C-alpha cells in the first residue's frame, strides 16, 4: 500500500457525494415527478385523451457513484433525472413533450424553470443565490419505438428546425459500462475514486465553468484508459495504490492530446458518440494540458517523497484543502505499511 494511501482514502471520504447523501434533492425530485404526473392527468381529463405515462430514473454522476461534493458550501450543484415517456417519437414533436415538463414545473416560488437543448432545468435559490438544480432529460421509451430504441428530445421553442429533433440515445448504458469496467470490487472502487479525484482537481484548478473539462469527459477517459493498481504484479497480493493509479491515468490523458493541433478528443462511449471536448477552444485545450502536466509532475514528486507529511503537502496543492496532511511528528518514523485490505466505499 502506498505511503499516502490512508490520506487518499480520507480525501475520498471528504469529497464523495452520493444521491443518498442529499435527502433534500431526493425530496425535490420526487415532488417534481409527482407534479409532472398530476399535470399529465389533468391534461388527459381536460382533453378527454389517453393518459400519457412515464417512468423515471437517475442518471449522471450520482447514478454511477462518481459524484463529488461542491467545493464550497454555497456552490450550485445538481442531479440528472431521466423521464422515459411511453410514447413513440413518430407521434410527437420533441419540443412539445419537453413543453409538458416545462409547464408542469413552471410558476413555483423559490425556483425557476429554464429550457436547455438537452433538458428542462429547475433551479432553486436561497436568498437569491443559486443553491441547486435538477435537469430533467425527456426520452421516448424503447418499448414504443422501432428496434426498441430510446430517443432524447432535443431543442428549445426558438431553436432552428434542424435542432428540434429526437436523437437516438442510450441513457442507461453508460452506468452499465462504469459498473462493468472492472470485475473485482477493489479495482472498481479505485476506478470510481480516480474519477472523483479528477473532478475535485478540476474544481480546485479551474475557476470558470467555461473552458474546463466536464465530469463526463473524465469518466469517458477513465473507461478508456484507467488501469487498476490494486494488485502486486509479481505476487498478485492485494496492494492498493491510488497514487500510482493516478500517475498512470494522468499520463494516459496527456497522451490523448494530438501532436498535430494540440487538441484532445474523447467520444462519449454510448450513443450519440459525440466528442466531449468539442466545445473547448485551442487555448483552453493548451491550458488543460499544461495543468495536467503540472499535476503529473507533482504526483511523481509526491511518490518520490519518503515522508508522507511532505508528500501530502504536494498533493494538497493540486487537490485542494480536502486532501489531508498528517502532522509532521506522526510521520517521522514511518515505515512502509504491510499489505492490507479496505472497506472504503465507492
Write the CATH number for 133. Answer: 3.30.460
Residues 162 and 195 in one domain: no
Residues 140 and 24 in one domain: yes
Residues 117 and 232 in one domain: no
In a domain, 35, yes or no: yes
In a domain, 339, yes or no: no
Main-chain phi, psi angles of 264, to 5 degrees: -115, 145
Considering 151, 170, 189, which residue would you say is the last residue of a domain?
Answer: 170
- Per-residue pLDDT band at 282 (split at 50, 70, 90): very high
The whole-number average pLDDT for the span 161-173 is 95
**Is the bond leading into 272 cis (omega within 30 degrees of zero)?**
yes
Residues 11 and 37 in one domain: no
In a domain, 279, yes or no: yes
| Domain around 206 | 5-16+175-330
3-state DSSP assignment of residue 271: coil
19: which residues sit within 8 A by CB, 6+ positions away? 25, 26, 58, 62, 63, 67, 79
Residues 317 and 189 in one domain: yes
The whole-number average pLDDT for the span 198-209 is 91
- Per-residue pLDDT band at 124 (split at 50, 70, 90): confident
Residues 183 and 114 in one domain: no
**Percent of residues, the chain, with pLDDT higher than 90:** 77
Whole-number pLDDT of residue 73: 65
Whole-number pLDDT of residue 48: 97
Residues 326 and 330: their CA atoms lie apart, in Å, by 7
Strand partners, 136: 81, 120
Residues 74 and 12 in one domain: no
Whole-number pLDDT of residue 331: 53
Mean pLDDT lowest among 115-129, 141-155, 243-257 = 115-129
Considering 120, 139, 170, which residue would you say is the last residue of a domain?
Answer: 170
Residues 125 and 131: their CA atoms lie apart, in Å, by 5
Residues 298 and 158 in one domain: no
Q: Which of 148, 136, 145, 149 is nearest to 103 (CA)?
A: 136
Residue 345, pLDDT above cutoff 80: no
Whole-number pLDDT of residue 21: 67
Which of 7-11, 59-63, 104-108 is predicted most confidently? 7-11
Rounded to two decimals, the pTM is 0.89
**Percent of residues, the chain, with pLDDT higher than 70:** 91
User: Of residues 111 and 308, which shows the higher confidence score?
Assistant: 308
Residue 11, pLDDT above cutoff 90: yes
Q: In sequence order, which ranges of the chain are alpha helices (DSSP H)?
A: 5-15, 23-47, 61-64, 94-105, 173-180, 185-205, 215-225, 242-254, 282-304, 308-319
Longest C-alpha distance within the chain, in Å?
Answer: 78
User: Of residues 77 and 154, which shows the higher confidence score?
Assistant: 154
In a domain, 341, yes or no: no
User: Of residues 131 and 113, which shows the higher confidence score?
Assistant: 113
In a domain, 345, yes or no: no
Q: How many domains does the structure of the chain reveal? A: 2
Residues 9 and 24 in one domain: no
Residues 9 and 112 in one domain: no
In a domain, 73, yes or no: yes
Q: Which of 143, 48, 136 is nearest to 100 (CA)?
A: 136
Residues 102 and 156: their CA atoms lie apart, in Å, by 11
User: Of residues 22 and 177, which shows the higher confidence score?
Assistant: 177
User: Of residues 236 and 340, which shows the higher confidence score?
Assistant: 236
In a domain, 335, yes or no: no
β-strand pairing of 77-85 with 129-140: parallel
In a domain, 69, yes or no: yes
Residues 108 and 105: their CA atoms lie apart, in Å, by 7
343: which residues sit within 8 A by CB, 6+ positions away? none
- Per-residue pLDDT band at 237 (split at 50, 70, 90): confident
Amino acid at each position: 500500500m502506498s505511503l499516502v494511501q490512508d490520506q487518499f482514502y480520507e480525501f475520498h471520504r471528504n469529497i464523495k457525494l452520493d444521491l443518498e447523501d442529499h435527502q433534500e434533492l431526493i425530496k425535490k425530485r420526487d415532488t417534481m415527478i409527482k407534479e409532472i404526473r398530476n399535470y399529465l392527468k389533468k391534461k388527459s381529463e381536460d382533453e378527454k385523451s389517453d393518459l400519457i405515462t412515464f417512468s423515471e430514473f437517475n442518471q449522471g454522476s450520482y447514478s454511477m457513484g462518481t459524484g463529488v461534493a461542491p467545493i464550497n458550501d454555497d456552490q450550485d450543484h445538481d442531479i440528472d433525472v431521466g423521464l422515459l415517456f411511453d410514447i413513440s417519437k413518430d407521434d410527437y414533436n420533441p419540443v412539445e413533450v419537453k413543453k409538458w415538463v416545462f409547464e408542469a414545473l413552471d410558476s413555483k416560488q423559490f425556483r425557476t424553470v429554464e429550457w436547455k437543448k438537452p433538458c428542462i432545468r429547475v433551479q432553486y435559490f436561497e436568498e437569491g443565490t443559486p443553491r441547486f438544480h435538477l435537469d430533467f432529460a425527456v426520452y421516448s421509451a424503447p418499448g414504443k419505438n422501432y428496434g426498441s430504441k430510446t430517443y432524447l428530445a432535443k431543442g428549445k421553442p426558438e431553436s432552428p428546425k434542424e435542432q428540434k429533433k429526437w436523437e437516438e440515445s442510450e441513457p442507461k448504458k453508460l452506468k452499465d459500462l462504469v459498473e462493468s469496467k472492472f470485475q473485482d470490487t477493489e479495482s472498481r472502487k479505485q476506478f470510481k475514486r480516480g474519477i472523483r479525484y479528477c473532478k475535485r482537481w478540476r474544481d480546485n484548478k479551474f475557476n470558470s465553468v467555461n473552458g474546463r473539462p466536464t465530469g463526463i469527459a473524465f469518466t469517458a477517459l477513465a473507461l478508456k484508459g484507467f488501469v487498476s493498481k490494486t494488485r502486486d504484479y509479481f505476487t498478485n497480493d492485494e496492494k492498493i495504490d491510488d497514487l500510482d493509479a493516478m500517475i498512470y491515468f494522468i499520463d494516459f490523458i496527456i497522451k490523448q492530446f494530438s501532436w498535430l493541433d494540440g487538441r484532445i478528443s474523447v467520444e462519449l462511449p454510448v450513443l450519440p458518440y459525440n466528442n466531449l471536448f468539442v466545445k473547448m477552444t485551442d487555448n483552453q485545450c493548451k491550458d488543460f494540458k499544461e495543468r495536467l502536466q503540472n499535476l503529473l509532475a507533482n504526483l511523481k514528486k509526491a511518490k518520490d517523497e519518503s515522508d508522507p507529511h511532505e508528500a501530502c503537502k504536494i498533493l494538497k496543492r493540486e487537490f485542494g484543502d480536502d486532501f489531508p496532511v498528517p502532522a509532521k511528528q506522526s510521520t517521522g518514523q514511518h515505515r512502509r505499511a504491510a499489505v492490507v485490505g479496505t472497506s472504503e466505499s465507492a
